[in-house]
Structure 1
């Protein structure tokens, strides 16, 4: 009896298919298929109905999964808890992140940890929508928000407060003039994030100004798209300062309203609600937190 074949069977069901299970287990798809074929031969019953679009349990498969699924889930959870108590930094660390944050903050940390821990693999997926790490099987999902997160069963850890500013190309400013107050932005073409409804600015004396976003020239959750549009002279973009620092150095963008402060962008790490944290997750967040102490 090969218990690993039973575990593979559970992964196929939990992840919705052979390819997804192979990715989750970091194995070739052919190995996953072989495990299922071997298990079906051992039990003398077909467990899965395969189509080009989905995998469906047969009656025998439902009976088997009902009996062993919770047991294997408990074993994996126990193993994770045991590893979390040690210092084994190995396996695949799966992360979801917005591009703006992933490229400039997560990338350097991932490279540093992989150099220190040869058994560690890192997968960083770029996402533009909020991700629940429980649903998508991520170890960490990062969220970038103007305000705090709502109450949730997930573990939430605030990592960064990223400085933001408003930027435009010299060509756009030559055509329209440079605004002296936030209110003057209203007459310029604006390049907004997908969740932007307003931009908030604070003056040196603490006074707050709000610029509504009724009809932006461009609306995109991708900061790189907004940066490119701003550099092309198509409008004014609000972007994190670290993300567009190179464009400013090269003279393609200029920072506007130096006497005003934009509301910062808060970055949270969302973690599955587990009692203990695997060493690979703990080490990554610790390293990122050290970077945050410098960048905040």
Structure 2
């Protein structure tokens, strides 16, 4: 029986993670030629190309994309086995790649990472902030923080806590245009849309008596950052639907005023997502537990 080329699979996973033969070689302590030969060896064994190679760009083929999660699993399980064999009591070391939403990342993840690194000097973090929904497997991330109502997925999802949204505007705006008591009244207001919502032009509500309402909204601004909406809101130019972690301070100061608090919007929660792989390296498990404990206080149910 011919054994799989586990070294080549692990090197392939590293190239996918680092998006470069050169960066993978540096991370693995190998020559670029060794890395290239291992990937070529694997391609020959599989009978398919794994990468599109040009002088300026490296990208996965369809076969490479389909096999990348298998390679990541092989590498992660091997790393986890080695760490367990060495000594779980030893301080974990290595890189953890984390993706998080932009505003939540700036306000909460960045400070959390600073504390985590201070406690674990052997671990390094590659933090990617974007409100765009990232592909964890293709992007090579160990952890992704996502605020959403999670659909069925092959990813592992750990719910951390609730994220409550509010309909807000400046008091001066409400004074000029009236405070709505029913979601249907929002149709005549200048509403600011969040571009990364699944339906940015439709806001859905459930009333205290179970009534459901889906309102098509219009307004002067569509934006892919909740934080970037704040200047427009504060100057009294519109209405927005935003999570509490962005606007709690503005509500407390009186700069923004929530309305229709008895109407609930689509439920959302903060989740920690991880790829559908087997055992995780100790450094990743440690980061997951740290972030879960930290953000349970930030997003209480």
Bin of the TM-score, shorter chain as denominator length: 0.7 to 0.9
Match of 1:91 among 59, 83, 94: 94
* Post-superposition offset of 1:9: 8.5
* Residues 14 and 216 of structure 1: CA distance in aligned 2, closer, same or farther (over 3 Å): same
Indicate if the aligned counterparts of 1:185 and 1:211 stay in contact, CA closer than 8 A: no
Structure 2 residue aligned with 1:66? none
Structure 2 residue aligned with 1:172? 173
> Structure 1 stretches of 5 or more lacking a match?
41-48, 57-69
* Post-superposition offset of 1:276: 1.1
Structure 1 residue aligned with 2:161? 160
Q: TM (normalized to structure 2)?
A: 0.72
Structure 2 residue aligned with 1:80? 80
Structure 1 residue aligned with 2:282? 279
Q: C-alpha distance in 1, partners of 2:248/2:234?
A: 12
> Structure 2 stretches of 5 or more lacking a match?
1-6, 37-51, 60-69
Structure 1 residue aligned with 2:110? 107
Equivalent runs, 1:33-52 vs 2, <5 Å: 35-36=31-32, 52=55
Structure 2 residue aligned with 1:136? 139
- 1:126 paired with 2:125, answer no
Equivalent runs, 1:1-296 vs 2, <5 Å: 11-12=14-15, 15-18=18-21, 21=24, 25=27, 35-36=31-32, 52-54=55-57, 74=74, 77-83=77-83, 86=88, 88-145=91-148, 147-150=149-152, 152-194=153-195, 195=197, 196-203=200-207, 205-294=208-297, 295-296=299-300
Aligned length: 264
Structure 1 residue aligned with 2:65? none
Task: Report the aligned-residue RMSD.
Answer: 3.7
3-state SS, counterpart of residue 187 of structure 2: helix
Q: C-alpha distance in 1, partners of 2:72/2:293?
A: 36
3-state SS, counterpart of residue 242 of structure 2: strand
Q: C-alpha distance in 1, partners of 2:206/2:58?
A: 54
**Cα-to-partner distance string for 1:17-54 (whole Å, 9 max, x where unaligned):** 3565479x3x9xxx88xx226889xxxxxxxx985413
* Residues 235 and 38 of structure 1: CA distance in aligned 2, closer, same or farther (over 3 Å): same
**Cα-to-partner distance string for 1:88-133 (whole Å, 9 max, x where unaligned):** 4322221111113323332332222112111122222112322222
Q: TM (normalized to structure 1)?
A: 0.73
* Residues 191 and 172 of structure 1: CA distance in aligned 2, closer, same or farther (over 3 Å): same
